[in-house]
Amino acid sequence: MSLKAYKAGMPCPPLAPGKLRIYSMRFCPFCHRSLLVLHAKNIEHEVVNINLKDKPEWHFKLNPAGKVPILQQDDKIVCESLIVSE
């Protein structure tokens, strides 16, 4: 897992078609819940960490509430850890 955290002014990394991505924060217990489920189910995914004190502008396009985790695959976006974990 990358330790890099995206912050304001940084561009959103490109998403490969069909690739599952989770927007997370390394110390967030709600993100940990979702990551544990992905690992337990052996679901291949990419992690993009967000600096929650200095959120990038594009983060609000994914979730207007500005929260993590966010699960994205192509144009499908799911927010809230309990829903992501399902």
Q: Which amino acids are annotated catalytic?
A: 28
Q: Which of 65, 41, 39, 4 is nearest to 31 (CA)?
A: 39
69 prior amide bond cis, ω within 30: yes
Q: What are phi and psi of 42, to 5 degrees?
A: 55, 45
CA geometry: angle 56, 58, 59, nearest 5 deg: 70
For residues 54 and 8, the answer to whether their CB atoms sit within 8 Å is yes
